[in-house]
């Protein structure tokens, strides 16, 4: 296997650097790439974290898998990019300093902005080696995503990968954002699932544990590691319809339901309270379903998303 101008032999583990660009200080920017290749042939699984620099849970999932050597395949190859967006990670920010979002920049352009250059490097130098992709994310800002897998119908194996991962929630999304990694992979016919868990700029142990188990389960499904035999696990709840519950007032948020809970239409979800004690507004569920994202911000504005609720 030749990747980034380096030949990685069967049974070899390699730590490589993908040179991307230079800052205006002439400091070179490179992205670490970890290769775990088994002696026996098999599929190549690409696992990525940190496309957004403040989404630390995905980075921690890959770090632990590499550190404990549990991601070493018995056949095939694992290509791991723990921190895709190194530049944003330096500042624990979602986007580049110029405001560009890497996950809206694919497939990229080698003559474009820093975000576009990085997207182009991943698209042309890493993705061609991948047979399957797991992309690790978290909720943005104060929105805590209950561990979940998101997939679309761009490839028939996406659902099979999602089921193998077996996150608490499996969410079908028909649309793909322009410039996203997932849309680029879909156009290339590469199966991909997106894991979402926790919120930005924090590490949640339960989310990391679910993510690690999910990645290893996908490897077992692909035949890349021994199947550990029958394990009693809760079946993932399938969600095909989602609805954001938004605040009708600005104020202090007082959530009343836990993330992951089932709610009925009309259930009281939260209060939005006036900071001077002048009002208390009820927030009720518009549908019956499962809460899979909760806004944990103490203060919200009118129109802010408070809860994301899904049903099948």
**Average pLDDT of 9-15?**
98
User: Residue 113: is its pLDDT beyond 60?
Assistant: yes
Mean per-residue pLDDT over the chain, rounded: 96
Q: Is the pLDDT of residue 232 over 60?
A: no
What is residue 203's predicted lDDT score, i.e. its pLDDT? 98
Q: Is the pLDDT score of 138 beyond 90?
A: yes
pLDDT tops 80 at residue 169: yes
Q: Give the pLDDT mean for 158-184.
A: 94
Q: What is the pLDDT of residue 229?
A: 60
Closest CA to 146 of 232, 257, 241: 257
- Average pLDDT, integer, range 227-240: 79
Least confident of 36-50, 202-216, 221-235, 278-292: 221-235
Long-range contacts for 252-259 (Cβ within 8 Å, ≥24 apart)?
252/298, 252/299, 252/300, 253/295, 253/297, 253/298, 253/299, 253/300, 253/306, 255/294, 255/295, 255/296, 255/306, 255/307, 257/291, 257/294, 257/307, 258/291, 259/144, 259/146, 259/291, 259/292, 259/293, 259/294
Q: Write the CA distances from 237 to 81, 147, 210, 244, integer angstroms.
A: 29, 11, 15, 18
**Which residues on neighbouring strands pair with residue 13, listed in sequence order?**
36
Distance CA 72, CA 35 (A): 9
Percent of the chain past pLDDT 90, that is, above it, reads 90
pLDDT band at 198 (very low <50, low <70, confident <90, very high): very high
Confidence of residue 175 (pLDDT cuts 50, 70, 90): confident
Answer whether residue 227 shows pLDDT above 90: no
Reported as a single tens digit per residue, the pLDDT across 251-298 is 999 999 999 999 999 999 999 999 999 999 999 999 999 999 999 999
Average pLDDT over residues 65-73: 96
What pTM, to 2 d.p., does this model score? 0.95
Q: Which domains are assigned to the chain?
A: 2-221 (3.40.630.10), 240-311 (2.40.50.100)
Taking CA atoms, 62 is separated from 109, 169, 213, in Å, by 27, 21, 11
pLDDT of 174: 76
């Amino acid at each position: 296997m030749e990747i980034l101008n380096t030949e990685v032999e069967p049974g070899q583990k390699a730590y490589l650097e993908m040179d991307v660009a230079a800052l205006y200080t002439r400091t070179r920017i490179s992205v670490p790439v970890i290769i775990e290749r088994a002696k026996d042939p098999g599929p190549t699984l690409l696992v990525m974290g940190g496309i957004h620099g403040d989404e630390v849970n995905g980075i921690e999932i890959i770090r632990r898998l590499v550190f404990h050597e549990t991601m070493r395949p018995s056949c095939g190859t694992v290509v791991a990019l723990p921190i895709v967006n190194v530049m944003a990670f330096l500042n624990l920010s979602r986007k580049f300093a110029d405001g560009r979002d890497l996950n809206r920049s694919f497939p990229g352009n080698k003559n474009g902005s820093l975000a576009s250059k990085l997207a182009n490097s991943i698209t042309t130098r890493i993705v061609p080696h991948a047979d399957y992709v797991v992309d690790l994310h978290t909720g943005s800002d104060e929105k805590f995503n209950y561990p979940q897998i998101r997939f679309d119908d761009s490839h028939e194996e996406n659902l099979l990968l999602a089921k193998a991962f077996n996150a608490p929630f499996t969410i079908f999304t028909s649309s793909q954002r322009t410039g996203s990694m997932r849309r680029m992979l879909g156009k290339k016919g590469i199966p991909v699932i997106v894991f979402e868990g926790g919120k930005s700029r924090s590490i949640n142990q339960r989310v990391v544990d679910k993510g690690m188990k999910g990645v290893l389960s996908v490897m077992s499904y692909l035949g890349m590691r021994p199947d550990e035999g029958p394990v009693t696990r809760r079946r993932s709840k399938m969600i095909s319809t989602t609805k954001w519950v938004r605040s009708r007032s600005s104020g202090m948020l007082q959530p009343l339901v836990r993330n992951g809970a089932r709610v009925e239409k009309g259930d009281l979800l939260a209060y939005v309270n006036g900071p001077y004690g002048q009002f208390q507004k009820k927030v009720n569920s518009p549908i019956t379903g499962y809460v899979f994202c909760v806004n944990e911000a103490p203060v919200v504005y009118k129109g802010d998303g408070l809860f994301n609720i899904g049903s099948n």
